Structure 1
């Protein structure tokens, strides 16, 4: 009898510990540092005028006079939008509300790419939101590469400090000649500095902006270990409060010079400007407030960086040193 009691107590203790670990995975709801926001600094654009339907048109709906778009993934298709303009540097931001419930294998992306114009030599700057596994957690993965170097992608992964399915949160990219910064709710989570020591790895060709939802089961869940369960479809993501400000390039095969004419917004009503809207000194480096916030995010929430992946890289990429 005593043995059975001890066995029962041991089993109960294991269950409690497992439950605690599971709960802790859902309770990373930290209070982030406060800082001056970048979102709202640039004009918002109507999504139905700034974007075209890229794929899965029947799964895309425009709401609230075109200021909001919902994209769905179901058994038939995912869906996606592509900007009507191509940009050379700029600030790109969207408020996104992710699908609730079991979302393993679902990928929501807000990113820049020129793969359609440079299929073998393209650039990309990615924010990818991954329905990570069976715990209903979402993970944000950032990535970037230049000149088609997909095999040497520079991924970093973070947990979020909030539930991204309850309301809209801001996901933003600042890209200029100095650095690329990834921000979540205006908190910088990653900075990639443009260095003359390794210029070929920095995205430097005009890109379109994409907003998509798709089935990433094979890619995002350890080779399909946790595939999308279409029993819970459709998976619907909402995009709103879109900001696209940068140099609009008419010929994507040409890289404009610093003195070239660019438009401050993708909005058709915007007036042309002679300067890049993110080329000023306030965008050339992070403020001390932003540096402190980024340090907070990386210490508390980052759980993967390519710079720490020694099994993957026999020789670490140069910027990791």
Structure 2
């Protein structure tokens, strides 16, 4: 284990974020809403998104992607943050308004800044009424410095990473079925007012006395198959060699290594505070992918996953329109 303050972090984690180049903002993104609340650095290496009483803000990738590795280093607002939602996510709701896919990181503000909650979620084929939320507390204060948040998505699995440590894996199994993201998506980031649901079930909303609220982004990475809408096909450009080979759909990206699985077990055992698979208030019958996970073993090689039974239960999650991301 490595030390981080008084925390022991898993060792020998593959640093996917070191494998791919960082982009300047205008190399991969555009300002999609709340433009007056977006500020770029002179060299384009970072961008600030601001929420104030007038508007939130957001940016979107210039291309849609079919599979890939997508990452940003983010520093969250450091002031009172109740009701604020900062999101890094993938979506195709613009192209498929009634049956869209989505892969979400959502950072939910709290009364005390060190209590930011990280929520992950996926939707497939318009399954917005069947959210598959998992929530985590972080092993650091996300408002004090930049930390890396990454999504790996291919035919085999969807993996969420924090500082290159896997915290959640969604396997493309018979259990998940049509809820697995399967259509090209844009990569987006937003900051918005989620007062109705984000903090303590909506009991604590945004207090604009502390505005403006600023989320900063740098270390932007977009690697995968770019979707050509006119040709209804994907061009894989991640290798930059014209090979047409999907850079993320094979090799080391097919499955997590033993070290990565050890790291994921550490993160989930110590820091996961809610999983929809452990919520009898929402599901009297376990969702099929949860049952499938149990049957095949959450970890490979028959490793013990009994710790999943010890997740601290949170109150039932409220229904909310998180797929709209504030605009």
Aligned to 1:264: 238
- 1:246 is matched with 224
Q: Which residue of 1 aligns with 2:9?
A: 32
Cα distance, 1:31 vs. partner? 2.5
Q: 1:48 to 1:184 in 2, by over 3 A?
A: same
Deviations 1:36-76 (A, max 9, x none): 21112112111123111111000101114111000000000
Partner secondary structure for residue 291 of structure 1: helix
Matched, 1:115 2:100: no
Q: Which residue of 2 aligns with 1:53?
A: 31
What is the alpha-carbon root mean square deviation over aligned residues? 1.9
Does the CA-based 8 Å contact 2:79-2:213 persist in structure 1? Answer: no
**Which TM-score applies when normalising by structure 1?**
0.85
Runs of 4+ in 1 over 3 A off after TM superposition: 133-136, 270-273
| Residues 129-144 of structure 1 aligned to structure 2 (within 5 Å) | 129-134=107-112, 136-144=114-122
Residue of structure 2 in register with 1:307 after alignment:
277
The one of 84, 97, 105 equivalent to 1:106 is 84
1:207 matched to 2:185? The reply is yes
1:162 is the counterpart of 2:140: yes
- Check the 8 A contact 1:206/1:252 in 2, yes or no: no
Question: Corresponding residue for 1:275?
Answer: 245
Shift of 1:314: 2.5
Asked which structure has the greater CA Rg, the reply is: 1
Instruction: Check if 1:148 corresponds to 2:126.
Output: yes
Alpha-carbon shift at residue 136 of structure 1 (Å): 4.5
TM-score of the aligned structures, taking structure 2 as reference length: 0.84
Partner Cα distance (1:65, 1:31) in 2 = 36
| Unaligned residue ranges in structure 1 (runs of 5+) | 1-27
Q: Which of residues 89, 93, 98 in structure 1 aligns to 2:71?
A: 93
* Preserved CA contact (<8 Å) 1:86 1:252: no
SS at match of 1:293: helix
The 2-side partners of 1:185 and 1:278 are apart by 19
Checking the alignment, whether the CA contact within 8 Å between 1:54 and 1:81 is kept in structure 2 is: yes
Q: CA deviation at 1:29?
A: 5.7
SS in 2 for 1:289: helix
Partner-residue secondary structure (3-state), 2:27: helix
| Uncovered stretches (5+) of structure 2, i.e. residues with no partner | 292-327
Question: Against the structure 1 CA distance between its residues 229 and 197, is the aligned structure 2 distance closer, same or farther, given a 3 Å change threshold?
Answer: closer
CA distance in 2, matches of 1:320, 1:51: 35
